[in-house]
Amino acid sequence: MRIADLRSDTITRPTAAMRQAMATADVGDDVFGEDPTVKRLETMAAERLGKPAALFVASGTMANLVSQLAHCGRGDEMILGDQSHVFFYEQGGSAAVGGIHPRILPNEPDGTIAPEEIDAAIRPDDIHFPVSRLVVLANTHNRCYGTPLNTAYMQQVGRLVRRHGLKLHVDGARLFNAAAALKCPAKDLVADADSVAFCLSKGLGAPAGSMVLGDEEFVARARRARKILGGGMRQAGILAAAGIIALTEMTERLDEDHANARHLAAGLAEIPGLTVDMKRVHTNIVYIDIHRDELSAADLAARLNDVGTRVLPLGPNRLRAVTHHQVSAEDIEFALDGFRKVMDR
């Protein structure tokens, strides 16, 4: 049966070019710093984002956690949004592993945190308080409709953080989607960040891996944190080879995914019983709200799966669909047909 899998951009298969690069990758022991393909990927990523150094890690969760551990000591505080991936989906690793105290602030609908809220949350020097060390932003913001945070906002928070002597980390899991949507170089979005993480395995389609970037001292600390988390892979160049293809061939095609997401959203908005906010479809993520008392998100997802369309329930009455390089315009039409069939029953 034909399948249009819109659950996430993590479900993609490696491209033919990635498989070829992986099969022929020159490798060594990365823990000893001897894998030439990993080194090439790290150099390429650092240059692409305008940072002095980079580190290849196994996953986005690991990328964020090693960054937090590199910036903060036990009992230190980080400030982040209440809808952030770090807070919602990373199992509280900063507290469980690093003893880092989270200060949660409300995300605005566009994924930002009001600068005045950040400013007010930074602790004064008082022995009763944890020490504020880090601010974490997400770009794009998954739970806030995949919205990109623009350069002006990122610069504003960067200035605020520096004024207080804190550090700024950007969870840029889909950073290149943000850059494509905003029509700007990705490095401009993170110029004011002390550290950045981005995924090779989401919008860029690699089978695994994420990058951590910052200055050389930060990356050295992150490398030590990676080791204590068990993330010191050996002949990791096999995976890094796919990451190189992701950076060289996949970043320039993201507009296609965004166009498909808008096409999907427009079609869904015409189906009775469903609501999509077209003004919030900026990248490759579409949120779908259901307005039928007898139909839950889980029920609708199950019925859609039966007709070959896969989406992700994210609440009692909400679904998420994500476009990616293995979803074509024809697949979007197929998925829309599946929605119509199910909702007409």
Task: Kindly list the domain boundaries of the chain, sorted by start residue.
Answer: 4-10+253-343, 16-249
User: Please, what CATH class does the domain formed by 16-249 belong to?
Assistant: alpha beta
> Which DSSP string do the residues of 157-213 spell out, in sequence order?
HHHHHHHTT-EEEEE-TTHHHHHHHHTS-HHHHTTT-SEEEEESSSTT--SS-EEEE
Angle separating helix axes 60-71 and 216-228, nearest 10 degrees: 120
Mean pLDDT of 69-76: 98
Distance CA 115, CA 94 (A): 23
Q: With left for phi above 0 and alpha for psi between -120 and 50, is residue 330 left, alpha or beta?
A: alpha
| pLDDT tens, position by position, 291-304 | 998 899 999 999 99
- Asked if 102 and 95 touch (Cβ cutoff 8 Å), the reply is yes
pTM: 0.96
∠ CA 329-240-64, rounded to 5°: 85
Distance CA 185, CA 70 (A): 26
Mean pLDDT of 306-335: 97
Query: What pLDDT does 345 receive?
Result: 78
Mean pLDDT of 59-77: 98
Tell the residue number behind the tokens 């909702």, with chain if given. 343
Distance CA 171, CA 143 (A): 13
Q: How far is CA 162 from the centre of its chain?
A: 24
Query: What pLDDT does 232 receive?
Result: 95
Residue 147 carries which DSSP code?
Answer: B
∠ CA 37-40-42, rounded to 5°: 110
| pLDDT tens, position by position, 211-251 | 999 999 999 999 999 999 999 999 999 999 999 999 999 99
| pLDDT tens, position by position, 95-154 | 999 999 999 999 999 999 999 999 999 999 999 999 999 999 999 999 999 999 999 999
Q: In what order do the strands lie in the sheet with 77-81?
A: 53-57, 210-214, 195-199, 167-171, 132-138, 77-81, 101-105
Where b means 16+ CB within 10 Å and e means fewer, 326-344 reads: ebeeebbebbbebbeebbe
Query: What pLDDT does 49 receive?
Result: 98
Q: Give the pLDDT band of residue 1 (cuts 50, 70, 90).
A: confident
Distance CA 311, CA 288 (A): 10
- Asked if 282 and 142 touch (Cβ cutoff 8 Å), the reply is no
Query: Which pair of structure tokens corresponds to residue 5?
Result: 């899998």
- Give the domain 4-10+253-343 fold: Aspartate Aminotransferase, domain 1 (3.90.1150)
Q: Give the pLDDT band of residue 176 (cuts 50, 70, 90).
A: very high
Query: What pLDDT does 293 receive?
Result: 86
Q: Which residues contact 113 (CB under 8 A, 6 or more apart)?
A: 79, 80, 81, 105, 106, 107, 137, 157
Mean pLDDT of 73-97: 96
Specify which residues 167 forms β-bridges with: 134
Q: Which of 146, 185, 159 is nearest to 9 (CA)?
A: 146
